[in-house]
């Protein structure tokens, strides 16, 4: 007794796309069960009971190995041979549209550079087998040509070498073997290359870690980096790996801003020996007593009075006092506005610090 589960291998049920494979496997099952003659030979005019029993077994095997969508085609058939021929007629239509569809698909099938050669060859041979099933005979030299033109351009060297062979040697079997061998060779090369790259990366990582451990920061007293890369020393500018720290460059002021700054008055004062701010009232009193007053009144340097200078604006009064030699006073004035400005200057530096543009 036939048991599809226990005694027969599992096969994919017949659908609209797998008739060629299903037909081959179903023939093997019927041969195994000694039932193939029921679909191959003609049905006798007066079958005996034994023949009828075996015919029912063959029909049951066929009907149990098709999908539900195919049952409608053979639901009311009563013999195995009629059932088999009905399925063959439906799925092996030798009309022009089926041939054109399969031929177009065969011509358009191309293998990508990273594709699998074994799967590609299997797909090509399956299409060729379907064409044969619908009555389109394809010669061996055409099959060899289909296989060669469907591989990537990187196989051109191999194709050129194969084309140099005699035509009688270019069989589909030879082409399949050569393409598969070349594909396996490339896979081994890629595997070796990836292994070498992984080893190189591992060595580089170890070397980098070793070099990192050899470094010691003299600022924070911690290993792993040098003083130039210390975050604590350069935290205002952020940590930049493998790059020296540089202060941010401020953008230059525009001409308009520079013009505004030139219109402003700037004064610089420096006092030595613990006295930061001079008592202006006290110095004015000393100046009045000594009558030490000079006035900027002309536009040219006055040789008779070395403390007299010119401005394009209103006169500027410069008051100086040298009563206390401990005081060193520096002043710089640059103004374009009409205002009275008082300076405390050193007699030896006045000519250099007062700026007149």
**CA quadruple 11, 17, 19, 24: dihedral positive or negative?**
negative
What residue segments make up the domains of the chain, in order of their start? 18-97, 109-202
Residue 294 zone, left/alpha/beta (φ > 0; ψ -120 to 50; rest) = beta
**Ramachandran region of residue 273, left (φ > 0), alpha (ψ -120 to 50) or beta?**
left
Comparing C-alpha atoms, which of 66, 44, 65 is closest to residue 55?
Answer: 44
3-state helix, strand, coil in the chain (%, to 5): 50, 5, 50
Q: Give the model's pLDDT for residue 7.
A: 57
Residue 248 has pLDDT above 90, yes or no: no
pLDDT one-digit tens code per residue, 77-104: 999 999 999 998 888 775 677 888 889 9
Q: What is the mean pLDDT of residues 258-285?
A: 47
Provide the pLDDT confidence category of residue 315 given band limits of 50, 70 and 90: very low
Residues 6 or more apart in contact with residue 227 via CB below 8 angstroms: 217, 218, 219, 233
Residue with tokens 């013999």, as numbered in its chain? 79
Which is it for the CA torsion 125, 129, 131, 136, positive or negative?
positive
In this structure, the number of other CB atoms found within 10 A of the CB of residue 125 comes to 15
* Phi-psi region at 221: left, alpha or beta (left = phi > 0; alpha = psi -120 to 50): left
Question: What confidence category does residue 26 fall into, taking pLDDT thresholds of 50, 70 and 90?
Answer: very high
Q: How far is it, in rounded angstroms, from Cα 294 to Cα 282? A: 18
In whole angstroms, what separates CA 214 from the centre of its chain? 34
């Amino acid at each position: 007794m036939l048991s599809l589960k226990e005694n027969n291998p599992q096969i994919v049920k017949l659908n609209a796309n797998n008739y060629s494979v299903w037909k081959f496997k179903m023939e093997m099952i019927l041969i195994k069960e000694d039932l193939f003659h029921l679909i191959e030979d003609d049905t006798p005019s007066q079958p005996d009971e034994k023949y009828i029993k075996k015919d029912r077994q063959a029909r049951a095997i066929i009907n149990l190995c098709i999908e539900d969508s195919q049952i409608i085609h053979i639901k009311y058939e009563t013999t195995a041979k009629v059932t088999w021929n009905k399925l063959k007629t439906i799925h092996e239509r030798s009309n022009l549209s089926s041939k054109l569809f399969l031929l177009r698909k065969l011509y358009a099938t191309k293998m990508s550079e990273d594709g699998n050669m074994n799967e590609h060859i299997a797909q090509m041979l399956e299409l060729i087998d379907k064409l044969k099933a619908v009555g389109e005979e394809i010669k061996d030299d055409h099959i060899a040509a289909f296989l060669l033109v469907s591989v990537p351009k990187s196989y051109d060297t191999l194709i050129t070498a194969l084309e140099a062979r005699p035509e009688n040697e270019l069989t589909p079997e030879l082409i399949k073997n050569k393409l598969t061998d070349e594909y396996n060779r490339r896979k081994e090369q890629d595997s070796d290359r990836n292994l070498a790259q992984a080893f190189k990366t591992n060595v580089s990582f170890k070397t980098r870690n070793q070099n990192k451990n050899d470094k010691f920061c003299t600022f924070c007293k911690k290993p792993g980096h040098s003083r130039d890369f210390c975050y604590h020393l350069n935290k205002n500018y952020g940590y930049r790996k493998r790059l020296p720290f540089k202060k941010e460059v401020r953008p230059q002021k525009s001409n308009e801003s520079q013009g505004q700054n030139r219109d402003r008055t700037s004064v610089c004062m420096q006092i030595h020996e613990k006295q930061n701010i001079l008592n202006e009232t006290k110095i004015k009193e000393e100046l009045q007593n000594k009558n030490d007053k000079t006035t900027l009144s002309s536009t040219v340097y006055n040789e008779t009075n070395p403390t007299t200078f010119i401005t394009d604006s209103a006169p500027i009064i410069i008051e100086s006092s040298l009563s206390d030699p401990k005081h060193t006073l520096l002043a710089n004035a640059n103004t374009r506005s009409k205002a009275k400005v008082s300076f405390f200057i050193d007699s030896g530096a006045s000519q250099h610090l007062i700026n007149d543009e």
